[in-house]
Structure 1
Amino acid sequence: MNDVFTEADLAPDPQEKWAHIASIVDRVAALVAVLAGGVYIGGMVALGACAAPAVFALAPAPFSGNAMGAAFARFDKIALGAALCVLAAEVARTVAARRRGRTILSRLRRSCTLFMAVSAAYVGLSLTPRINDLHRQGVRRDGTPQGQVLELVHQRAELFGKIGTGMALGLVALTIFTIQPRRPDDEEDDEEAVAPLPPGPRDG
């Protein structure tokens, strides 16, 4: 048995190294998720709540529909990129957390991530191309059969846009709440640590 104290005795063990790496991964992935979710929320609010009502009120058809269709088609690429980022960040956080990621808040965060990604993909890959295709055919939102189809697709796009925005808001909030503030080893050390006695004579 070697009783000589060496510098190697101060080096962290593999578990401590993994905990440190996992903590860094958790924070970086959380930052990516918050930024990507914020980009998605900002784009949906800017286009859906601000630009679309103004354009449809000021520009006559079919120019208004064509303009907003082109704007949403471009934003959908950004939304899909944001969805991929939050999915990748969620995978990284789940792997880094291991058993600590089995909490209710973490599961809710994963659900919000999944529903946001599904909403963005459905709108960007199905609904927006369908709307733009109908606009190119000269269809307007009126009482004709094709006009009713366009109206239905528009309503569906608005619905899933709101769902995606709500899920993104939940994702951002839960991402912040579930950041691991400290490594579990630190908490164990605090619980096991005993404060030194003050100097001076001791009773008994």
Structure 2
Amino acid sequence: MPGLMAVSLYITFSPSTSEGVSLTAARDRGQLVFLEGLKSSVEVFFQTPEEPHPLQFLREAKAGNLQPLYEFVRTALTPGDDGEAAWRCPVLLVDDLSVLLSLGLGAVAVLDWMQYCRATVCCQLKGNIVALVHDREDTEDEENDILLNGLSHQSHLILRTEGLATGFCRDVHGQLQIRWRQPTTQRDRSLTYQYKIQDKNVSFFAKGLAPAVL
């Protein structure tokens, strides 16, 4: 299947837009399993599901049990008994993990859930996981720092986006740092690009080499 062939599971806990990519069309083509956290949370509070809901932790007095959410991931990626083909190189997209902390979960519980997902998606199915976490340098949030550091330690590739330190610029909207973790060496490899957000895409260029500047 062309296009989103590798994308198999998308979990979002916050409003998100994907310019140029229709998640609904991908889901209709069978390329995407989509769990919308905001919409699903309504079902948890106002309906009584026959089976454990992926977001069952929202109804529990002591939040922390993410096993139903993991089972949702595992079941979505497991071929059924009707001869359904298995996912090939699946990708789990999570947008975003920081919201789980706001819902009362601890960083350790979220990291444990990610570890179980990595064992299934990455190790067993030879796929990948992409997760968004907010880096709140302007606030003291110990749980978010634990989550961010834990994920950074587990990740092979880290993409960090931030605005320009010099403030607003019409031709440069921010910069992207790409860091490849090198487990076998003491120093990671990194590159930094600047970018400009356009109507339907994003332009990347080396620092100081914006087209408008040249």
- The interval holding the TM-score normalised by the smaller chain is under 0.3
The structure, 1 or 2, with the larger RCO (C-alpha pairs under 8 Å, 6+ apart) is 1
Larger strand proportion of the pair: 2
Q: Which has the larger radius of gyration?
A: 1
Larger helix proportion of the pair: 1
TM-score by length of 2: 0.23
